[in-house]
Structure 1
Amino acid sequence: MRQVERAIFDLRRGLTVLIDAPEGRILVAPLEGLDDDVLARLRDDAQGAPRLVVSQHRLARLGLTVDTPAARLPLDDRDSAETVVEWACARTPRDTLPDRGPIATEAPDDAALTLMRRGLLIPAAVTAEVAPERAREITARVASGELLAIDTAAVAAYEAGAPRFLRRISAADVPLAESERTRFVLFREADGLREHVALVIGDPADWSEAVPVRLHSACLTGDLFGSLRCDCGEQLRTSVARISECGGGVLLYLAQEGRGIGLANKLRAYSLQDEGLDTMDADQVLGFGDDEREYNVALEMLAQLEIRRIELLTNNPTKIQAMSQGGVTVVQRSGIYGRLTVQNRRYLTAKAVRGGHWLEHVLGPATQEEDATPAERPHPAPPR
């Protein structure tokens, strides 16, 4: 596990790592920090040409369809680092993508993209198979500590087991405007990159049998600064108040900025939205799916808090499905809303139309173009 964590750290620093697999050894360079010098070193060490590995979401935006989660695009000596980065994540690459055809990925390529996602990097990488004549030199660089080597089995095991290594780190009482009796409990993931907080509201002895629970993905721009591009801040504060009014419960504040893509990529997506894309299309341009969040961490937090039956405060059917499949009984679902604004209408519409979120009360025909809906409207529970 520690080697995988070190690999994630190195990739976030823009360094190259080595992945070992039965299929061979490949060098992996992240898109962030890629320049012509890095590309030249990969070419020197490679057997054949390096290749750009991108997700199927990115390929679809480039007009290419594959049946695998990702694919390789072979590079040649004329391709600059700038061109490669544009192919990987620009809305409209200046140079037309050459007709070299996508090639199905192998285990090392898939492991490379897993590391990028875990590191909150753009899900793309330049990879190169190690040439036989460079094998001894590469081995020496690994032995000296200059180059970090990991194997695909370790990456797969880490990805599968990461939520189980969630550690409860610290806790303190933090009275809030919406709920004076609130205790913050902090959990940390094994790689140290993400920390999640459970807001334990009220006295657990007084909670109802079905504990009111909100799964709230962190949103720096909305929660802290009151961004008008989303309704996250209002949902957060409304959720705390609602849980307090119900006699207490838990709000899980999850480090899943931008539906799981991280703050840096969320800001990139915002720039693409300013060019006319909706929130989901912008994420796909960067190589992400409609929603990259997983809720295994939330399930583990609830397990450590000994909560198994809940009233879930959400407009998102995926959260209900994730809780139910993870062994948590969702007794009831209650809607939780923020205001509709000129700036967030397109965002909320995309969530409703493309993500299936229950937002008809907010986006109904009576809503106005300016501010306008009440911050909170109850929604009936789904059929049980």
Structure 2
Amino acid sequence: MHQVERAIFDIRRGLPVLVRDDEQDVLVQPIESLDDGILEHLIATAGDAPGLVLSRHRLALLGESINGESARLPLDSAMLNAERLHELAFGVGPTVVLQNIVPTTRADHAALTLMRRALLIPAALTARVADESRQSVEALVARGELLAVAADDAERCFDAAGGLLKRVSEAHIPLAEAIDSRFILFREPDGLREHVAIVIGDSSAWQDAVPLRLHSACLTGDLFASLRCDCGEQLRNAVADIDAMGGGVLLYLAQEGRGIGLANKLRAYAMQDDGLDTVDADQHLGFGEDERRYGVAVDMLASLDIQRVQLLTNNPIKIAALIEGGIEVTDRQALYGRLTEQNYRYLNAKAKRGGHMLDAVLENHERLGGK
């Protein structure tokens, strides 16, 4: 998987990578770093016009319903400019009617997987390497100017961390809500993400079912007390609740913006300012309702020798993910932050469209005359 890790870094830098498939080698270019010069270079290198690979969520918003997770749009000359491709991939303005949508190959699907792992817009240009260009492309690979990765390896890049999480360092850090707290840092094998277990209290005195909170990082809410969400208050309330329950663990997971990353979260916020709710905004960018994965949390709990938990959450997906990972969830405790004018739409969308258990909070707001 070493080549995949290098490929992800190249993609984040806006560089193309070569995805090798049994059918045909494909040049993959991230869409969000595209300009007309890069587009011309991609076509010249591959010797063939590229297609635009989009997720089913983005295609649905463009009026195309597909059975799979993605599809490829062959591009004619009118579409071969960066501005037009950006509009198709993540714009909110009017677009042309899509035609000739075709199923994705393994290499196309691998391209979108790489984009997601790199926390970029899930859209990519994929250009088949023409026979007459194969020798020159192989020369670029041989000189180290172009990185090649197997499609199978790229498709598995989300699952590569399973069981390989590394426990790196730890220290005692007293918190305002829990004086006896210890931070343990875990790093994923590709080095891209680091997660923290906050161990509260003396583990020898914990309950048999350990109080647990899975908290996805939220820079704007946790650090800057953004009023657009309740994340910061949930974080501090969870620490206080766990301490009051005799101690337990809070897993602070590097999954900003429900797994889409900070850059895309800010893009989604801008779309929400134009009237979209949090789910629609993410889908306009090509993402699903929730891109988070909790296998890393299961691995962290295994390292901490925790098999039974009382989960502090309003999210049924977290309960299901832990159970699927072999963790026994004996009980659930609700966890709320303040409901404000600024976060009402966000919380309402989480409840109505994401299934979060927030009825008590929202009903109280409506009973008091909130909008």
Q: TM-score, normalised by structure 2?
A: 0.97
Q: Paired residue for 2:90?
A: 89
1:237 & 1:47 partners in 2: Cα distance? 55
SS of 1:18's equivalent in the other structure is strand
- Provide the rounded CA distance (Å) in 2 between the counterparts of 1:160 and 1:55: 19
Deviation at 1:139, TM superposition (A): 0.2
| Aligned mates of 2:52, 2:306 — CA distance in 1 | 44
Q: Residue 52 of structure 1 contacts residue 72 of structure 1 at CA under 8 Å; is this kept in 2? A: yes
What is the alpha-carbon distance in structure 1 between the residues aligned to residue 335 and residue 368 of structure 2?
17
Q: Is the 8 A contact 2:268 2:282 kept in 1?
A: yes
- Divergent runs of 4+, >4 A: none
Written as runs of structure 1 = structure 2, the 5 A alignment for 1:163-312 is 163-312=162-311
SS of equivalent to 2:251: strand
Unaligned runs of 5+ in 2: none
Q: Separation in 2 of the partners of 1:322 and 1:8?
A: 26
Q: CA deviation at 1:47?
A: 5.1
Count of matched residue pairs: 368
Cα contact 1:45–1:128 (8 A) shared by 2: no
Q: Matches of 1:250 and 1:283 in 2, distance apart?
A: 30
Q: Quick one: percent identity of the two aligned structures?
A: 59
Tell me if the contact between 1:54 and 1:287 (Cα under 8 Å) persists in the aligned partners: yes
- The residue type paired with residue 84 of structure 1 is L
1:335 — aligned with what?
334
1:159 Cα offset (Å): 2.9
**Is the 8 Å Cα contact of residues 49 and 127 (structure 2) preserved in structure 1?**
yes
Distance 1:66 1:306 in 2: 43
Determine if contact 2:64/2:98 at 8 Å carries over to the other structure. no
**In 1, Cα distance between the equivalents of 2:143 and 2:113?**
26
Aligned counterpart, 2:44: 44
Q: Whole-Å Cα distance in 2 between the matches of residues 191 and 125 of structure 1?
A: 22
Distance 1:202 1:368, change over 3 A: farther
Structure 1 residues 157 and 284 mapped into 2: Cα distance closer, same or farther (>3 Å)?
Answer: closer
Q: CA deviation at 1:214?
A: 0.1
CA distance in structure 1 between the aligned counterparts of 2:72 and 2:203, rounded to whole angstroms: 52
Q: 2:110 maps to which residue? A: 111
Q: Given residue 32 of structure 2, which amino acid in structure 1 is its aligned partner? A: E
- The answer (yes or no) to whether the contact 2:114–2:155 under 8 Å persists in 1 is no
What is residue 24 of structure 1 aligned with on the other side?
A: 24
CA RMSD of aligned residues (A): 1.2
Q: Secondary structure at the match of 1:45?
A: helix
Q: Shift of the alpha carbon at 1:90?
A: 0.7
* 2:114/2:157 contact within 8 Å kept: no
Q: Distance in 1 between matches of 2:368 and 2:317?
A: 26
- Unaligned 5+ segments in structure 1 are 371-384
CA distance, structure 1, for counterparts of residue 62 and residue 359 of structure 2:
33
How far did residue 44 of structure 1 move?
A: 1.9
Could you give the per-residue CA deviations for residues 91-118 of structure 1, whole angstroms, max 9, x where no partner exists? 124xx32442311101000111111011
